[in-house]
Amino acid sequence: MSRSFFPAMLLLALWACNVACDRQKKDPGLVHPEISPEINQVIESNKNDHPAEDAVESVAEEPQVIEAAAPDALEDTFGSSALFGLAKADESMTAGEDLLQTGEYAKALEQFKIAAEIDSENEEVFFNLGFAHSRVGNTEAAIAAYQKTIEIFPAYGEAHNNLGNLFLKEKLFTSAIEHFKIGIEIDPEHAAAHNNLGTALSRQLKINEAVPHFAKATQIDDRYIQAWCNLGNAYTSQKRFKDALGAFQHVLSIDPSFPPALSGMQRLRSKVIALPR
């Protein structure tokens, strides 16, 4: 029996364990660290549970004996070179995620590029790649990476939300609205997607359509102050001044110095002289 048999078996077992752990981490209840810069809050991952990758097929009880070879050239019946490649991709993913946490986005981007070259059908790799591209200002590359993410896993709600934010940044409102709506279809309780959809509709001056989404975002997360401010501004546009006042006051009860709420109150006072100061 080849001396490579037992190391390959050990590597295979470790890789299978890592895959299982990675899939388990996709529970929707966990906070997802990768968010689009427009949101300014932690957003729960909207990714639906899906089965772990199929287990590696079992091999013959008596594997072929293979002559010893250099480690980088070794390739036995267990696919050692492929396993080493996946291990390298996983290593780069972990390194990239650590760099994201410390704000070293350019370095993280290089790690995710390595992982994407090796593991080209892993939606998490391309999601992180898109996030890193967006953080360093590579908008077109970020869009392409999120589109690849969705191509691999169409029900990845957070990818739709982040892609929508990039389209919103580029003033491609129709495309942004499309992806925010898909994200909401996947997870109707995605507060940020409702807020972002309301924002896109507001940019098209569709205030009456935007208000229900801002309101829904605040119902889902009562402390989502960005959504409360957007709701207050929308109410002001609708001349619902009392409702607008309530929205801004709610924000200031959470964060008395939140600039958008202070400026919103100032605009509201300019329209209604009797408002308290």
- pLDDT the model gives residue 271: 84
**What mean pLDDT is predicted for residues 216-244?**
97
Domain boundaries, the chain: 222-277
Range name among 20-24, 101-105, 125-129, 192-196 with the lowest pLDDT average: 20-24
pLDDT band at 273 (very low <50, low <70, confident <90, very high): low
The domain defined by 222-277 carries CATH number 1.10.8:
no
pLDDT at 70 over 70: no
How much is the pTM? Answer: 0.70
Buried b (16+ CB within 10 A) or exposed e, 52-64: eeeeeeebeeebe
Q: What is the mean pLDDT of residues 61-73?
A: 36
